[in-house]
Every structure is written in structure tokens, then in C-alpha cells.
Chain A
Amino acid sequence: MRKMKKLLIVMAVLGFALSIGVLAMADNIATQSVSYEVTAINEIEVSGDPLALVVNTATAGSEPTADTDNTTTWDITTNGGLDGKKLTVVIDSNMPANTTLEINLTAPTGATSSGDVTLSTTAADAVTLIDSVAESALGITYTLSALIAAGVVPQASKTVTLTLTDT
């Protein structure tokens, strides 16, 4: 009789547990996932080529007067995060002796401009500490200067490359 009671209890407990288990598997619920991948976005663009820079005047007693151009702009979109990016500048070949070509880029919000940067075949930082940003029509100023010692320099052109890179 005692064994029978124990068996009944065990069966009842098992039955209860099984029913709870079935309830736990209730399928009146369904799940779905939404997944988004945002890739690294680093886009820069310039508005065009600057006008020709010509050094052809001087104040008597001084070095020739530098020529400047600020007719172009640059655009940037990056999602690189806080201070995640910097912009470097480089030209394809060095300037003739005693001449200097400089670039000055207006920094987007939150970033820092290096001011006038002398262009050479070695990349130099022009804008640093760039946050995630999307801004356009940021100023570009080129300055060409030449010393008397440069003499007469034939017309030439340089390719300036702006590169957005990790800080």
C-alpha cells in the first residue's frame, strides 16, 4: 500500500512537471531578427582644380609676392568616430628649388587644421582629430611663393593628393 502511494506521488509529480514543460514550449510566440551592418565610410571630394598660381610681382627691396588661390573647396563624410581620422596631403614631385607650395584646409567641426602646410612628396597632416562628420564646401587655400634665388621657373603643374586615414 505504501509503495502504491509513493508511485502515485511520483507519477503525479512527473505529470505536473511534463505539463509545465509543454507549456514552456508554447508556440504562440515567434521571433524575428533585424540586422544592420554599417560599413566604414570615408569619403572626400574636392570641387575642382585651383586657378593657376603665378608669382610675378614684388615690392622693391623684398622677395617676390606670393600668389594665393581659394577658389576650391572640399567635402568630407566619415563615420570613423571621435578623433578617428586625419587628412594628409602630398604632391607627386617636389617643387623646384627656392619655391614653396602650401595648402591650408579648413577643418570640419570638431577637427583641427594644421594651417599652412608645405607640400612635398612626403605626406603631411593637414587636418587632424576628425570626428564622425558630414560637411561640405570647406575651404582650400593654395599659396605659391618663390625666392629671388629661384630665378625664372617654367610653368608646371603638380598633383595634390588628399588622403583620409586613421589617426
Chain B
Amino acid sequence: MAEKLGHPQPSFTLMGRAFFFLVPVLLFLTRAEAIDLSATGGWSETINEFDLVSGAGSDLVDTYESATDATSMTISNCTGDTDNWRLLVRRINDPGWHGDFTLYVMRTSGGEGTGSISGGLSYIEITTTDTELFSGAGNRSNISIQYKLTGMSINVLPATYTETMTFTVDDLP
């Protein structure tokens, strides 16, 4: 009582302590159970005079495709083969990108693993909002991804254009 009167203390009850300790633990546990996504590869292309449709007087070829395995993805840390997920893709609209370009992505292989995978076997446009590319359940490794770009023309000035795509694996309930 004397302590309270003479030196006011912050209220730190048993409930408060429990909150402060339990929340980080719960958050850590939630994190520890999250599905992981890793990706390797990418795509880079040089456009020059050899990409003209038919030499001088013609325009550049409009559409370019990457190798079928330009990117390899692995989805891991699932709780089991029934742990459902979906893979989302978007682009960040990098200022170094050209407004005439349209980017597409598709899945060209299901990879390996005891889990399952479906969808994404035809091109979808990559926009600046998350769009589902494919979905599945359980761990899958070495999923191959292919890209396509359209909109190339002689009106695109000489320069290097870069866009970053973000893939997100979404753990479904």
C-alpha cells in the first residue's frame, strides 16, 4: 500500500504477463507451421535485329517465350499430403518496365512429391494483383514455370527492362 501511494507502478497483472508471453509463442508456432516456398531461376532475353520478322522494313516479333523450366519452385513444410495450398502470382509494376509489355506465366510440370498439384497449365496474365496460378496439397519440389512476353515492337526504345514477379503460397484451411 505504501509502495502504491509513494511510487505509482504500471499495472502488470498476471493476465498481462500471460498475454505478453503467450502472444510471441503463439506467433512463433504459427510461423513454424507455415508452408514454405522457394524459387530459383528467372528469365532474361536480348532483342536485336535478328528478331525482326523479315529484316529491314519489318517490325520486331511480338511474342517471346522463356525456356519451359525458366523457374523451378519448391513448396515445402506442409503438415501432410492433405495440407492444401494455392500459389498466387503478381508483378510489382517496376518503373523500369515498359507499359506495352504483357507478361504471362504457366506451369509446365507438376514437379515431384507425395502431394498433389492441379491447374496452371495454360498461360495467365501476370497483373499487379495476386492471381491464382495453381493449387495443390502437400510438399512438391521442382515445379517448372514458363513465361511469355507480348507487346514487343519497334516502338520500344533500346534499353533494359526489368520486372519482378512475386509468388506467394497461400496455406488454405
Contacts and interface: CB of A to CB of B under 8 A. Distances in A.
Interface string B78-118: 00000000000000000000100101000000000000000
B56 A15 contact: no
Contacts, number: 185
B12 A36 contact: no
B133 interface: no
Given A15-B24, A75-B56, A31 B39 contact: yes
Contact of B57 (A15, A132, A136): A136
A34 B154 CA distance: 20
Given A28-B36, A30-B167, A79-B158, A35 B42 contact: yes
A134 interface: yes
A140 B158 CA distance: 29
Interface of B: 7, 9-10, 12, 17, 20-21, 23-25, 27-28, 31, 34-39, 41-49, 52, 55-60, 66, 71, 73, 98, 101, 103, 145, 147, 149, 152, 154-171
Interface of A: 2, 5, 8-9, 12-13, 15-16, 18-20, 22-23, 26-41, 43-45, 75-79, 81, 132-137
